[in-house]
Structure 1
Amino acid sequence: MHMIPPHIHRDFFNRDTVTVARALLGQLLVRNHPDTKEPIAGIIVETEAYLGVRDKAAHTYNYHRTDRVRTMWGLPGHAYVYFTYGLHHCVNCTTMPESTPQAVLIRALQPTHNLPFIHSMRPKAKSATNLCSGPAKLTQALDIARALDGADLCSDQSPLYIAQVRKRSHSTSKITASPRIGVNYAQEWAKKPLRFHLTGNLHVSRQ
């Protein structure tokens, strides 16, 4: 198993949300779990950008502010974890300065570290490429739940953080941009190309 590189610094997240969504591709999402000595991790291969108060698909659209979305209104570089449809969790990275409630949803991972743990959490996965190929699948695989909401993604002592594998973003030719998934209710925002994935990667939720 390869060594895990150092954590990403907060300045990485304190930028334009679309820039962060693209730059996260190829970085490593790391879970420090109390039940295993080895970290669990995977390369981020798919993301979606949510642009806050003007974005009709964002939880903070029209200045919506509740306990559920409190983390989105805070500092950049924290995990915003929410429970959706009464079924599963999704994990996001907060972006932009404090009080600018934007975030990037992590949609898919390519598992790299502690595969036995991941398989134990996803025993019904049909293939290796199905283990983390969707936001609900990856939170199940890494055991990410609402208790991790607000986790500092910029500290390797955190239960959940992001390690910097790449200094530079992938070139435009290696990233596919498309409309976000499952946001048909968001009117004109449903068609904006705010979903990004590594072109040709087999671990994404859909090509």
Structure 2
Amino acid sequence: MSVTLILFCKKPAPGIGKQRLAETLGTNAALRIASLLHDCALEQLRLWRGPKVLATAVAADVDGYRQCYPDIDRVLAQPAGSLGERINHIDRIMRSEGHERQIIIGSDTPEQTPARLEEAASGLERHDIFLAPATDGGVSLMATRRGWPDLGPLPWSTGELGEALARSCADSGLDVGWGHACPDVDLPSDLVRLKRSLAADRRPAQRALHALLQELI
């Protein structure tokens, strides 16, 4: 059975996203980093072997994404609401269109590899829900074969998210499996690690990000 990869993202713009980086590096540098993080996520999506879906936070960006990336199978807008509510909404749409198995990623894990995505796809053979932790207590990806419980009340963007998400799924009778952790990028200290870890990465977007980090830090 095919597994659909869904990227939840927001097109970078000045003053939007990675503001904790902007506090230290300045608005322009933070925007350059956010733009390349966005490129890395798009590359992960476009290299996926199965159906590819992009869920943008800004409805006005839908047509632009469709024109720039015709190889992405479906581009749609996220609704208003918390991230959990938006995920529930997109999940219902995808499930109504026959996308039973889904992996969700964001745009702040450039160290995510195809092998980690395949691990999640394989995990759905054994589990209803498959999560990969982020090193800050959140999740670096989340995958399902049976849909999600109500995600609205969960503590999104906190270090308690991973445990709360797993507990909510288990309380709803869903079997939860875990994969390998992948760090995300939120703080200036993350960039030092990222510069080291991307040194041997040959993917074009990751190479561009590594070059920028060499320039900035």
Task: Using structure 1 for the length normalisation, give the TM-score.
Answer: 0.32
Larger Rg: 2
Structure with more helix by fraction: 2
The alignment's TM-score, normalised by the length of structure 2, stands at 0.31
Of Structure 1 and Structure 2, which has the larger fraction of its residues in strand?
1
Higher RCO (C-alpha under 8 Å, 6+ residues apart): 1
